[in-house]
Every structure is written in C-alpha cells, then in structure tokens.
Structure 1
Amino acid sequence: MGERKIFKKRKPGVQCALGRDSSGTVVSEPCVCADWDFEWYRRIVSNNCTDGLREKYTAKAQMCPGKAPHGLHVVTTDGRLVAEQGHNATFIILMEEGDLQRTNIQLDFGDGIAVSYANFSAIEDGIKHVYKSAGIFQVTAYAENSLGSDTAVLFLHVVCPVEHVHLRVPFVAIRNKEVNISAVVWPSQLGTLTYFWWFGNSTKPLITLDSSISFTFLAEGTNTITVQVAAGNALIQDTKDIAVHGPHSSVKTSLQVTSVPEDQIIVAVFPGLPTSAELFILPPKNLTERRKGNEGDLEQIVETLFNALNQNLVQFELKPGVQVIVYVTQLTLAPLVDSGAGHSSSAMLMLLSVVFVGLAVFLIYKFKRYVLP
C-alpha cells in the first residue's frame, strides 16, 4: 500500500521554502501502488511507497525453504575410472539440488575406509585417498539432511604397474596332445589383468583373463609362444620356444644308429629329472625253435647297441640348445614270459640313464637367476 497526497498550489512569484512543513497538505489518503509510483523511489520487500529522504534501505532477511538432496554425483578429477595403486585418487562430489550448508556428506572408498563431512564447504577442493591394493572398488557417496537423502556410486579400477612376466612352458610337447602353459606376473597382487597368447605365426591372439591356458599343437617342429600382459596402460611380454614331436619320435630317431629293428625294442622311461629308462631287446619273431634257444644273435645285437651307447652315438635334441645324451649304466639278463601257453623267450634288460647335460646347465642357470637375491 502507498499514500497519495495532494498539496496546495503556491501563488505565482512565491519562492519555494525549504523544509518538510513548508507545504500544507490538502488531501492524504492510502492507495495501491502502481509501477509509476516507484519513480525516484527504492522498492523494498514491504512493497510500500516511501519518500526518498532516507539514505539507506535494507531488505528484510528471510530464510530460504530447505530442499532434500537430489542429483548427487561422484566423479574423479580427471574423469577416468582408473587409478594407480599407491597414488592419490581425488574424488569430487556434486549435487544438483539441496542445501549445501546443512547437508551431511559421507564417502565410502570401498576398501574399508570412509569419511564424513558436516557440509559441502569442506570438500570443495575434492577428497583424496590412496589405495594400498589393486582391484575394482565401489565408491559410494551419501548425502542426507532433515528433508531426505540421495546416493551416488562409482566403480574405480585400481591397477598396479606390471614389472615382470615369466612364461612357463614345457620344453617338449607331443603333437595332437594338449599342453598347459602359464604366465607368472610380478608383483602378484595386480587385480584384473588381460593376457594375449600368440602361438607360432598366428595373426590373431587368444585373449583370456586367466594366467594359464591349454593348447594343442598340430604340427611337429619348433614353435614360438608369446604372452602379452596388459594392466592399465602398461603392456609387457615374454617369449619361449617349445619343441613339438610326434609320439615316441625322439626315441626312434635316437636309436636308428644301432640298426636294431624297431619291433625288437621296448623302451620304458621313468619320470623325474634326471631320468632313467629300461630298454628290452627282444628276439626276432621269425626264428625257428632251434635258433630261439641260441642267444648268439641277441648277444650280437646287445654288443652293437652297447658300443653305440658308449660312443655317445645315441642322442637327440630336446629343444634348440639342449642336447640329451643316453648311455648305459647296468646290463642284466632277465626272462620275458609270453602270455601264450608253453611259450617263453629271453630278453636282455638294460637300464639306461638319460642324462640331460645341456638341460641341467640350463636349469641351474635359471634357478640362480630367479632364486638368488
């Protein structure tokens, strides 16, 4: 509301007199203010028309109505969802609606540690945290005041730089037989890793999240295996060679120098390193009953084989750079009984020790390399 006043007209030629009471008021009545009534006047909260003699006018202080938290967001300062183990990860909490000064904030980092703040003024520069282990962590922000609450979630992948990878492969594999291959990564606590396996001349790798894989080689020869390990932006690799042979191909090749027929030899190899084997020499199947009793032919075969072994002629290459030499350690005579009735024969039992000369040097070198500080 305003006040409308009508003043008395002055006589012509009369000068204006200064002062509030110099003019007489004829009419004074309340009225509703219009837009033109505020000309040269300051409009205040009370919406009253007042004269312009006051030097300062202040608005009436009034509390804004409170709002419940709404539109809560939690992000990282760089916008990425990946952080490195042992380095600061900074989180920013944003809220679209709500009372910033009267809203409690809680941030759970997902690793068993959480922080709380009474209002947003304390977290304007972000909240910093250092993760001590790798993995995927669920970061949860929670805002609450007297009118309601809101929650925001972020999944952060904490990685540790890969420093070394060692590819474990057997020295020899059998064609068309599955072989197990694994990769050892250091440090061990790296969280989720991606493994890329390259076999031979393949142009497309096998991709796994597991550190081991099974593979079947279809062709004989030396094959190259490469594993690449990816963690975050880092990528390292290791390469090994594996010799692929057919079943028993190495034993047959090594015994060809003795000229002993293949059907007269039985070889049983024992597990372990260094290993040993039993070699049985059988009599020919086409001998007559009279000649079966004569062991002269068998002795001649044994002597030929014995000389070849003593001259280190029976050897083969396990893998490039690893040579296997076979020699005799014991010579015995043992009966070999057939399952048929009334039929028996004799065989010479020779105990062979397979000494992995190059392989032993290679294993000792590797052991010293990875075990000794």
Structure 2
Amino acid sequence: MVEKWSVFGHISYRSDWELVKVDFRQSFPRQCTESDYESWQLTDLQGEKCIMGQERTFRKRKDTAFCIKGKSYISALTNKSCQCTEKDFNCDYGFERSHTEGERCFADFWHDPDSPPEDCHLGQNYESSTGYRKVISNICDGGLNKQQSTKQHSCPLLPPKGLQVGIKGQMLAVAPGDDITFIVHQEQGDTSSTKYQVDLGDGVRAIYQNLTVTDEPIQHRYENPGVYKVTVKAENMAGHDEATMYIQVTAPLQEVHLEVVPIAGRNHEVNLTAIVLPTEANMTVFYWWIGDSLRPTLTLRNSLLTRFPDTGEVSVTVQASNGRSMVQDTRTVRVYDNFQVVPLSFSRNLDRFNPNIPEWRDDIGQVVTKILAKITGVPQESLVTVVKPGLPTTADLYVLPLDSKPAKRSMFVDKRIPAIMQAFSDNNVSFVVRGGLQVLVMLADPNAGLGLIANDSTTTAAENGYHGAAGSPGVWALAVIFLISIIATGSFILYKFKRKLPGSRNVYAQMHNEKEQEMTSPVNHSEDTQHIIQGEEFIDDDLDSQTLGNHSGVVLSINSRELHSYLTS
C-alpha cells in the first residue's frame, strides 16, 4: 500500500477544483519486508508460461501482510527466454497459411520464393525464403528455426525496374530561366552496371553511370516557353526501363480580358471569349462562372457558347490558370426579350488608328453612343455601341427598349428608329481622331433591314411587320408621300365641306392667314426636322387617335414647305 494519495476533482458540477490528500501511515504502521511478498508467474489463458519467447516472474504482497510497499518497490523479479516453437513463427511476405494442411504456409500465386531481394547486387548471395519468419518482438532462442533456409543463390544481374524521374520541389510548371533539378530513382534492378540516357526535350542529351547510386542531380534551365518531354532510359545487359515526364515552361499570366456583347436576347446563343496576356501563353485552363452558379464550366479553349434563360443583368466571370498563376475578369450582360441591332461601319481612315485592343474598342463605342444621343435626342441609356474586333472596323448599335414602355406594345411607331436612321443617312454622326482626321459613322448597308431580336412570347404582328418596313429609305419615302396624299385629300374634302357651312369661310380664312404668317420667315429643312424629332418624347403613339381636324398633329408629321404648298394650292 502506498503511504499517501492525492486526489484532484470537483465536489459538484458548479464547484472549483478540489485537492484531497489521504495519508495511510496511521493505518499501516510499518514498511513491507521480503517476507511480506510472494512470487507469481505470468501465464496466458491456456496456462502457457512462455509468452513472446520469454518467461516472466513477478512478486506481490501477501494478503495477510498489513504493511506499506514504499517508493522502492519493484514488481518484476526475473525474465527468462525460452526455446522457439511453432507458435513463434508467422507466414513470410508472399506466403499464406493453409487451414486445410496443418497450418502450413504456402506461396501465393503471384510470389516467387526464389526471386532475389531488391538489395541483391551482382556478386552477392541470398537465401530463398522458407515461407516463415519470427513474430516481431519475439525473443525466443534455440529450439525450432523455421525461417532458416538451406537454399543458397547467387545474385544475378537484374534489369532496371521501377524507374522514376521527378523535379525537386514537385513543380511541373516553371517559368523561362528557372533552375530545375531532376531526380532519378530506381526501385529494383542492378544500378552499378546500368547506364542512364537522359533527354531533356530541348536538344540536350547526356549519359550517366551509377546515377541512382551516387544521387547525382541533373540541373537544367529552359529559356523558351513550351512543353518539353523529359525522358530517362536505364539499360544494362539484362534489360531496360524508361521514365517520362512533361515540363510546362510558361510565363506567369498578366491579364485576361473577357469579350462578350453587353446586350443579349433571352435564350439566344452568346459567345464568350477570353483574351489572355501574354498571347503566347499555352496550356491555359479557363473557368467560366455564369450568374450565381458555384459550379464553373472548364474548357481548354478560350471561348464558350452559352444562353441566358432569364432577363435582367447577369454577371459573367472567367478565370484563366496555367499552373503558375491565375487571373480573372468580370463582365455584366443585360438580357432583354427584344431589342434592335443596327450594323454600322466607319470610314476607312479609322483602320489606321485601330490597335485591335478591347480598351480602344470600348472608347470608340462610347464616343459613337454619346454623339448619336446628342444629335437625335434619344436617351443615351437606351443606346449601346459595340465595336467588333478585327479589320475593317465595324460596330453594332443596340437600341434597347425604354423602361417606361410596356413590354408588348408595338414597335412600329417607335420614333427613335427613324431619328437614328435619318442621322446616319444625313452623315451627321462623325468624330475627330488624332491629327484632326474626321471619321464618319455610317450604316453598314443602307438598303438592308434592321436586326430585330425578339422572343416568340413577346413578338406581336406589328413587330414582325416592322422588320422589313424599317429597312430601306425608299420605302420610307413612299410611306411619307402616301401619308401626305391622304392628308391633302382629307383637307380638300374638309375645305369643300366647310365652304357650304354658314360662317365657316371666315373661320377657315382666318386660319389660312395665320398659317401664311407663320411661313413668311425662312426655315431650314434639316433644322426644322431635327427640332420636330427632338420635341417628341420617343414613346409609342396611337396613330388612329390623330384626326384630320387636329392641325397641330398634321404639322408635326410634315415639314413647313410641304404645308405651305398645300395651303396655297
């Protein structure tokens, strides 16, 4: 029994730590002596005394001894090794015990007991395994020795096997000019008489002897970007082995620019393109993040075709990675059910200043949008000009629906389009570039129709008819002449009708004089037309609501000269 005990703990769950000391010296008056102990031998459950090759004897205090053991008490008395028996051996590597043939160990089908060990070199001897080996930590001595073999073999010349080549630091993607250290390792086979042929993929070749024994490093430096195939071939008289690896030599990515049209139609195919700098970067992986999705689309090409199922603003992000660096760019795409596209072209002198970079194209597009909005009076937020890559320089003008307009109203009477078409037809859209050179913005094809992007669910019959009606200036001229003819005929009938009414002549004569007074000052045709267009609110009007009796509506539909000729006829 120990003289003193120290107990740590809590009296309750809410109490602090408590220390309790128990002193047994008053209960046990003396120290134990040798006569107070008796010996006992360790055995297993079957009563076997030899355990793990040894017999161990301990001592314990007698039940009748009323004393304290003290600090110098030692329980173990003796350790004695015993002779080896069958149970002190297990099956060796590559062998399995057979439960049907007296617990004997037999070689597995894949194992050759007579094969030389991995560390067997030419000129040495080895013993083939008997199928048994002593249990680990077993210290039995003498008796049965089941792992001793009587078969002696000379180590043969083994072919190289398990050849591996790697890089110190495990970096398979390096920058041009980086120092690389190659490491060659061989798992099996002779190394002293083996030659190693090394090809670094850039024209550098070398032959080494005892490469894996001396651990001689192979150092190299790649100057040019590219993918290099490194090959190491080990060969001796018994055979050969080969190892291959690929090294990516690439400069860190500097920038990626995402090119995507800022305006897209719902469920229409959109092309996403990533422009990477430096342009010679290879083996680049692209991660495309669309909307709020947390699962990107991975491609090896720098472009992706996609569709946007819902209207509104959609965030698109691309990440480019080449194993050494990662860069990203984000763009926002506005998705609409319907909008119109006007193809534009520029005078050829702009091509000389086109560096074909995204920043320059964005600047030109903003300049065209601001000028067109100022000339036509169309709200700038409803116009977007996108300059296309490449030469010759071309662009697309996107005319967006106004937020205040109902989604399903007819676009036939959208007066922004005639104003825009007239501005381009009159060659009023131009700007000045470096050196004072004037650049004219024109319709790509004046005789072609406008591009209408619309979904079936929101396209009306009037919208379908507007696509062809908005295309040719000749069609517009015929429409204006037809409208003037109808107004002239109606006014003539009204004039004849009012002459028959009492007092109507005075009213009409007074109105006729007022109109003639208005026409006495000279009026510029283009300025008057532009003023009339800018006076409009660019919202859908119902043409049927205008009557022939409303002369102010008629005046807004034709110019002053046509009105004067009509009144004097």
TM-score w.r.t. the length of structure 2 is 0.36
The whole-number CA distance in structure 2 between the counterparts of 1:100 and 1:183 is 50
1:307 is aligned, of 507, 526, 531, to 531
Q: Which residue of 2 aligns with 1:262?
A: 412
TM-score w.r.t. the length of structure 1 is 0.51
The whole-number CA distance in structure 2 between the counterparts of 1:223 and 1:295 is 53
1:124 is aligned, of 201, 204, 215, to 215
State whether residues 288 and 317 of structure 2, in contact with CA within 8 Å, keep that contact through their aligned partners in structure 1: yes
* Aligned-residue offset at 1:183: 0.8
Q: Which residue of 2 aligns with 1:235?
A: 326
Q: Which amino acid aligns with 1:307?
A: H
The alignment partner of 2:339 has SS state of coil
* Aligned-residue offset at 1:126: 1.4
Q: Which residue of 2 aligns with 1:223?
A: 314
Q: 1:177 to 1:293 in 2, by over 3 A?
A: farther
Q: Which residue of 1 aligns with 2:339?
A: 247
The whole-number CA distance in structure 1 between the counterparts of 2:259 and 2:187 is 54
The alignment partner of 1:242 has SS state of strand
The alignment partner of 1:161 has SS state of coil
The whole-number CA distance in structure 2 between the counterparts of 1:290 and 1:145 is 104
Q: 1:85 to 1:212 in 2, by over 3 A?
A: same
Q: Which residue of 2 aligns with 1:139?
A: 230
Q: Which residue of 2 aligns with 1:71?
A: 162
Q: Which residue of 2 aligns with 1:95?
A: 186
Higher relative contact order structure (alpha carbons within 8 Å, sequence separation ≥ 6) = 1
* Aligned-residue offset at 1:208: 1.6
Deviations 1:53-82 (A, max 9, x none): xxxxxxxxxxx8644333322222234544
1:274 is aligned, of 417, 441, 445, to 441
Residues 77-86 or 273-282, more deviating: 273-282
The whole-number CA distance in structure 1 between the counterparts of 2:166 and 2:538 is 69
Greater percentage in helix: 2
Deviations 1:129-148 (A, max 9, x none): 22344555432211123343
Q: Which residue of 2 aligns with 1:47?
A: none
* Aligned-residue offset at 1:182: 0.7
State whether residues 164 and 184 of structure 2, in contact with CA within 8 Å, keep that contact through their aligned partners in structure 1: yes
The whole-number CA distance in structure 2 between the counterparts of 1:252 and 1:170 is 13
Alignment of 1:209 onto 2:376: no
State whether residues 264 and 283 of structure 1, in contact with CA within 8 Å, keep that contact through their aligned partners in structure 2: no
Deviations 1:286-336 (A, max 9, x none): 98996586799xxxxx99964244569669xxxxxxxxxxxxxxx9xxxxx
Deviations 1:5-60 (A, max 9, x none): xxxxxxxxxxxxxxxxxxxxxxxxxxxxxxxxxxxxxxxxxxxxxxxxxxxxxxxx
Q: Which residue of 2 aligns with 1:105?
A: 196
The whole-number CA distance in structure 2 between the counterparts of 1:237 and 1:185 is 10
Fraction of identical pairs, as percent: 31
Q: Which residue of 1 aligns with 2:433?
A: none
State whether residues 194 and 208 of structure 1, in contact with CA within 8 Å, keep that contact through their aligned partners in structure 2: yes
* Aligned-residue offset at 1:185: 0.8
The whole-number CA distance in structure 2 between the counterparts of 1:135 and 1:141 is 19
Aligned residues: 246
The whole-number CA distance in structure 2 between the counterparts of 1:283 and 1:205 is 52
Q: Which amino acid aligns with 1:109?
A: L
The whole-number CA distance in structure 1 between the counterparts of 2:440 and 2:527 is 28
Q: 1:206 to 1:261 in 2, by over 3 A?
A: closer
Greater percentage in strand: 1
Q: 1:253 to 1:172 in 2, by over 3 A?
A: closer
Deviations 1:96-124 (A, max 9, x none): 44554432211122344332224428962
State whether residues 143 and 150 of structure 1, in contact with CA within 8 Å, keep that contact through their aligned partners in structure 2: yes
State whether residues 264 and 281 of structure 1, in contact with CA within 8 Å, keep that contact through their aligned partners in structure 2: no
Q: 1:170 to 1:104 in 2, by over 3 A?
A: same
Q: Which residue of 1 aligns with 2:264?
A: 173
Deviations 1:203-236 (A, max 9, x none): 3322222111122233333333211112225222
The whole-number CA distance in structure 2 between the counterparts of 1:304 and 1:205 is 55
The alignment partner of 2:279 has SS state of coil
State whether residues 104 and 118 of structure 1, in contact with CA within 8 Å, keep that contact through their aligned partners in structure 2: yes
The alignment partner of 2:531 has SS state of helix
